[in-house]
Each structure stands twice: as structure tokens, then as C-alpha cells.
Amino acid sequence: MTRVGFGRDRLDMILDTGAEATQMWNRFAVEHAGEGRDRGEKSSDTVTGVGGSKEFETLRLPELTLRVGGLDTLLRPAEVYPKVIGRDWLHGAIGMDLLRQARRVTIDFHVMAVTLE
């Protein structure tokens, strides 16, 4: 888990180096409903994991700026999955699409910190 900056807010997200794409989940959808109302469009996405593939309804936002490990990253487009079950306590998962925006990613397990440069 890591904290990500979104404007003045802090988002609780997991770092998923096995995921290609960053996903925003129900907690983000609930706490930032204005983002979707103002800029989002309904869409769908098929997510494939170890257990197979499943299609989810999504809300596609043109972009979000997320401060990950000290670096402003741009999630474009941003897929919000408002019905991901069992993860209501998290805002989402950071995937490789955001990590690749950094020149260097450091994961320090001694202090449990992620730094992007």
C-alpha cells in the first residue's frame, strides 16, 4: 500500500507491478463523484487476471494527475471501476503505466516507501 496525492487529497492505493494499467475503484468514485459528473463517460473494460477475464462497467475520465512517490504522473485516460467488489477501503491500484513515467522507481522495504524520480 502507498499514499498517492490527488490535488489536496491523499488516496490509499496498492502498488501492483503485475498490472499493466492503473485502476481507480469504488472509494475514489464515491469520494470524488464530481469528477465523474463533470468529465466522465460510461464505458466498460475487460480485466484479465489469474482467475480469468471479467467485464466491468467503468467511468472513463479524460485524465487524472496523481502524485506517486514524489512525482506527478498523468493517468490518461483514467478508468474508474465503481463496482470492484471487496476493495471498498482502497481508492485503486497503481500499475506499470504510471511507474513507467519515472526515470527511476525505488522501493525501500526497510522504511516501506516508494520513490519515483
- Stronger pLDDT, 15 or 46, i.e. the higher one: 15
Domains along the sequence of the chain with CATH: 2-116 (2.40.70.10)
Taking the C-alpha atoms of residue 29 and residue 35, their distance in angstroms, rounded to an integer, is 8
Task: Give residue-wise pLDDT tens across range 35-84.
Answer: 766 777 888 888 777 788 888 888 999 999 999 999 999 999 999 988 77
- 16 with 97: CB under 8 angstroms? no
Q: Which residues contact 111 (CB under 8 A, 6 or more apart)?
A: none
Provide the pLDDT for residue 44.
82
Residue with cell 485502476: 23
Q: Does residue 97 register a pLDDT over 90? A: yes
Query: Measured over all CA atoms, what is the biggest interatomic distance in the chain, rounded to whole angstroms?
Result: 42
Provide the pLDDT for residue 65.
97
